[in-house]
Structure 1
Amino acid sequence: MQIIAGKYKGNKIRRTDTLAVRPCSSRVKKSLFDTLSARMDFEGSIVLDLFAGFGSLGFEALSRGSEFVYFVDQHTDALKSMKSTALHLGVTDKSSIVNSDVTAFLDRTTEQFDLVFCDPPYTWPDYELLIEKITAKSVLSEEGILLIEHKTHLNFKHLPSYSFHKDYGMTRVTFFHH
């Protein structure tokens, strides 16, 4: 797993062999960032990477010019790997690695984000509540974008902030706008 473009292109993202963390595939990540690059300028953006895992999406955003990334996860191996990658890239001053339950983090944050990556476990019990919490609480900035990764059988077209989705085999990424 490595960074595919930008300032840190080619750098490896630290990871462990744990099966408890499901990283975003390189194919999906490339497509997501191609799609995002056509819709936003990463330069100076504030990013939130929820269920960050090893931080692949957040570190990619930093490489492309994001000003700051908050990584939120509870998995010990994932947190250690993200800290190691942040040190290796020299971005500890441009990132915050938060050991927290995602719902608790969303309840207490007062920050607004230009981009939110959300990659919950596919067994997550209530995607709609999670989406509503992010979009209703003003977690997204005025032009903010939320991406949520999930299985293809879930459909969120009925939600007011829905924009579009893309399918990658059994994975669907749904895009929402503030």
Structure 2
Amino acid sequence: MRIISGLYKSRKIVAPKNLPVRPTTDMAKESLFNIINNHFYFDEISVIDLFAGTGNISYEFASRGTEQITCVDQDHGCVKFINQTADAFDMPLQVIKSDVFKFLEKSSLQADIIFADPPYNFTVELFAKIPELVFKNNLLLEDGILIIEHSKHTDLSHLENFDYSKSYGGNMFSFFEKQ
């Protein structure tokens, strides 16, 4: 994987092969960040990266100037890799080892953008728990967005606070906002 833009543009990051992850493709990530760039100034926002995996999305935010980034993942190897990479690049990432649903239930941390990249094989009920907990616990700041990455075969448009979705290859990003 590589960082698309910003301070660390074109830097390649190689994750260990034994991590249980499916990093967002560069094409999908570039398209996603073009959308985000039209709505936010990266150096003025806070981000929570759920199911952070390799940290791919968090590194992109950090490279573009975001200084308040929280990564949440329950896998020890992923947490260790994100911490090592953040240290190597001197990125301002706070990494939390936790089950994402437990984190969402207990956290009072708010952000402008909450990005979730859960396993594609989640049931629709598990996908639905993400926006349910985010909005129930008021984890988005005013005018904030929740973005869930999922397979194009999963439809989340019926969920409360759904706004729109964009498809890039086999990847889909669904955007949720307070109504």
Counterpart-to-counterpart distance in 2, 1:70 and 1:26: 21
Task: Choose 147-156 or 27-36, whichever is displaced more.
Answer: 147-156
CA contact (8 A) 2:161 2:177 kept: yes
Code of the aligned partner of 1:68: Q
Superposed structure 1 runs of 4+ greater than 3 Å apart? none
TM-score by length of 2: 0.92
1:102 maps to what in 2?
100
Structure-1 separation of matches of 2:85 and 2:176: 29
Residue type at the aligned position of 1:123: N
CA RMSD of aligned residues (A): 1.4
Structure 2: segments with no counterpart, 5+ residues: none
> Is residue 14–residue 54 contact of structure 1 (8 Å, CA) maintained in 2?
no
Q: What TM-score, normalized by structure 1, do the two folds share?
A: 0.92
- State the alpha-carbon separation in 2 of the partners of residues 12 and 76 from structure 1: 22
Aligned counterpart for 2:121 among listed residues 99, 120, 123:
123
Contact 2:108 2:137 survives alignment (8 Å): no
Query: Which residue number in structure 2 is paired with residue 36 of structure 1?
Result: 36
CA distance in 2: counterparts of 1:169 and 1:6, whole angstroms: 24
Measure the CA separation in 2 of the matches of 1:17 and 1:156.
30
Moved more, 122-131 or 99-108: 122-131
> Retained in 2: the 8 A contact 1:49–1:58?
yes
Instruction: Measure how far apart 1:154 and its partner are.
Output: 2.2
Q: CA deviation at 1:11?
A: 2.4
Q: 1:138 & 1:13 partners in 2: Cα distance?
A: 34
CA contact (8 A) 1:14 1:84 kept: no
| Structure 2 Cα separation of the partners of residues 32 and 139 of structure 1 | 21
Residue pair 1:14, 1:85 contacting (<8 A) in 2 also: no
Distance in 2 of aligned mates of 1:119 and 1:14? 19
Which SS does the other structure have where 2:112 is aligned?
strand
Number of equivalenced pairs? 176
Cα distance, 1:3 vs. partner? 1.1
- Structure 1 residue 13 corresponds to structure 2 residue 13: yes
Identity of aligned residues (%): 36
User: What is aligned with 2:110?
Assistant: 112
Residue 97 of structure 2 aligns to which amino acid in structure 1?
Answer: N
**Amino acid of the structure 1 residue aligned with 2:7:** K
For residues 1-178 of structure 1, what are the structure 2 equivalents within 5 Å? 1-18=1-18, 20-91=20-91, 94-125=92-123, 126-178=126-178
Structure 1 Cα separation of the partners of residues 80 and 147 of structure 2: 24
Q: Which amino acid aligns with 1:162?
A: F
Letter in 2 for 1:15: A
Between the aligned partners of 2:87 and 2:130, the Cα distance in structure 1 is 31
- What do residues 61-88 of structure 1 show as CA deviations (whole Å, max 9, x unaligned)? 1111212111111122211211111011
Distance 2:36 2:15 in 1: 25
